[in-house]
Structure 1
Amino acid sequence: MDLLQLRYYQAVARYEHISRAAEELRVAQPSLSRAIARLEAELGTPLFDRQGRRIRLNQYGAMFLRHVDRALSELDDGRRAVREGRDTGLGRVGVASETLLTITHLLGSFRAAYPRADVRLFQSNAEEMGRQLRAREVDFCVASQPLTGTNLESVELAREEVLLAVPPGHRLDGRESVTIPELADEPFVTTRRGNWQRALLDRLFAAEGLTPQLSCEGDEPGASQDMISAGLGIGFIPAMSRQVGTDSHVPVAWVRVDAPDCHRVVTLVWNRESYLSEAALKFREFTTSKPFMAHRLPHLRR
């Protein structure tokens, strides 16, 4: 078997459809069919169950595909290592985060320390992060909720309390704490499903048998405080935002939430089977070498 044959098999196994795989590979269907037949002959067993023009990966095909995926991935990683070492010196590091504000200063500090590193940043929700790690589109995810999947490793970077932010003059302005049932009829500014703010909101309300009332759903958690200040609703904001302080145009009042585990946990997640460039290894070391908040504190707004 040769490398091209394995690429052909991987595509056919993914689509379970000869014509679709042929279209992606830009080869003739008869040539692709013959390549798969030669591979099966060499292995001594069919890899697909065939019913007319339909094909389905069988147990031997699925078993072989796992090894093919690993082998081709290793070769792709080797090609990437050579290319990045030649072109940029330290290579490339790709990082995904639910909100860019979480890692802006971290990446700025890293770039200052390692100017030869090629840094790529992506904004993704939790589901997209898991897919990006599995597909090796990014090296790391800075996640505010657990990412599930095989071969994923993580290290906790920070754990912080989440507070309730309300507009100035709101009925809860001046309260020291509040329970979830007291918020049952309040309109919430939050993010769409898949982001940590929404996951926390839904979890805390579900624990009380309640469903939150929503006034605004967005894709950028960092914009929530501005909308709350404008009177569009109330919302959950990390305590770090209170420590940062706010400019005069985004004032809010802060109230503690009397609910179990009203926290945000920030983790660095990576795929342990993925190739990591020198830049990626430096990034992991840089990110975990001191408290995560220390990367932000010098830049806090006054």
Structure 2
Amino acid sequence: MDLTMLRQFAVVARLEHLSRAADELHVAQPALSRTIARLENELGTPLFDRANRLRLNPAGALFRGYVERALGELDAGRRAVAEATEQGSGSVRLAAENFLALTEPLAVFRRTHPAIEFALQQMPATEMARRLRAQDVDFCIASQPVPSAGLESAVLLDEAVSVVTPLDHPLAGRGSVTIDELADEPFVTARKGQWQRRLLDRLFTERGLTPRIVCESDEAGAIQELIRAGLGIGFNPETARRMVPDYPVAWLAVDHPECRRTLSLLWSAESRLPTAAQLMRTAIIGWDWTPGSE
């Protein structure tokens, strides 16, 4: 087996779909199928179940972990050599659920270290632990708990989450509301797995309630616009209020001690971070995340 074979397997394993993997790799699907078949032949066992749809089997899942760690180590070595031989000033790979809270610290870091390249990737929290351990990324920023085995973390911000309503909503004049008072309200929210949706589901479930969801979206801007237009209400953190202070919606405190968001920076405990990544970690942790500061 060679590196090309392993890199192609890693993509197929991640997507569990041959045609999408072929598109991402810019190779023909029949050629990719032959590559996976050769790899399985060398290992002496199938790596995928092919009934109905392509799915990693237990052997494939086991092998995937080793492949991702090996590829991550090779990439880390390449970056370390480039840095040691002064082939540029280094690079950083950062993933986050969304980048709204990161625009200012990243802009300042860019101005302070203009020669450092960095790549940003939007990523669901469910992928973060695996991708960090595989060294696909240097850091992740999450707004919800991430399995911590093999990871280190630093809390960046703990902030209140409010209910946002249209200006003409019956609750708009209130200073605060309870979860019970929101039981029959239509919610515009993020898809399952995103922190806003998990918070909404958790707070309602503990009260024996089911949220009435009228729209799901991955676009924070679209959610805000739909709320403003009167289609429903939704949860939003104080960071969003600070970023657009004059946006025409009403903000109501939620009378619940756990209606909050905790923003954390995570990295692999075993990774050897290059100098550029260490500089960014220091800058992000040292940033004043207090609402209203810049």
TM-score grouping bracket, smaller chain normalisation: 0.7 to 0.9
Partner of 1:267 in structure 2?
A: 264
Q: Within 5 A, what are the aligned runs for 1:1-302?
A: 29=38, 73-83=72-82, 86=85, 89-247=88-246, 250-293=247-290, 297-298=293-294
The Cα of 1:272 is off from its aligned counterpart by: 1.6
Which whole-Å CA distance do the structure 2 matches of 1:84 and 1:164 have between them?
47
The 1:297/1:66 distance shift into structure 2, 3 A limit, reads: closer
Which whole-Å CA distance do the structure 1 matches of 2:236 and 2:6 have between them?
49
2:69·2:135 contact (CA, 8 Å) conserved in 1?
no
**CA-to-aligned-CA distance 1:143-185 (integer Å, 9 cap, x gap):** 1001115311111000000111110011101111111111111
Rg (Cα) greater in structure: 1
1:95·1:121 contact (CA, 8 Å) conserved in 2?
yes
Which whole-Å CA distance do the structure 1 matches of 2:65 and 2:119 have between them?
29
Partner secondary structure for residue 202 of structure 1: helix
TM-score, normalised via structure 2 length: 0.76
1:90·1:277 contact (CA, 8 Å) conserved in 2?
no
* RMSD over equivalenced CA pairs, Å: 3.6
Q: Give structure 2 stretches of 5+ with no counterpart.
A: 14-30, 47-56
The 1:282/1:193 distance shift into structure 2, 3 A limit, reads: same
The Cα of 1:135 is off from its aligned counterpart by: 2.8
Letter in 2 for 1:187: P
The Cα of 1:258 is off from its aligned counterpart by: 1.1
The 1:201/1:261 distance shift into structure 2, 3 A limit, reads: same
TM-score, normalised via structure 1 length: 0.74
Letter in 2 for 1:177: S
Letter in 2 for 1:297: S
Partner secondary structure for residue 137 of structure 1: coil
The Cα of 1:236 is off from its aligned counterpart by: 0.7
Q: Give structure 1 stretches of 5+ with no counterpart.
A: 16-21, 37-46, 51-55
Partner of 2:54 in structure 1?
A: none
The Cα of 1:92 is off from its aligned counterpart by: 1.1
The 1:27/1:176 distance shift into structure 2, 3 A limit, reads: closer
Which whole-Å CA distance do the structure 1 matches of 2:217 and 2:73 have between them?
38
Which whole-Å CA distance do the structure 1 matches of 2:119 and 2:68 have between them?
25
Which whole-Å CA distance do the structure 2 matches of 1:28 and 1:262 have between them?
50
Partner secondary structure for residue 274 of structure 1: coil
1:228·1:235 contact (CA, 8 Å) conserved in 2?
yes
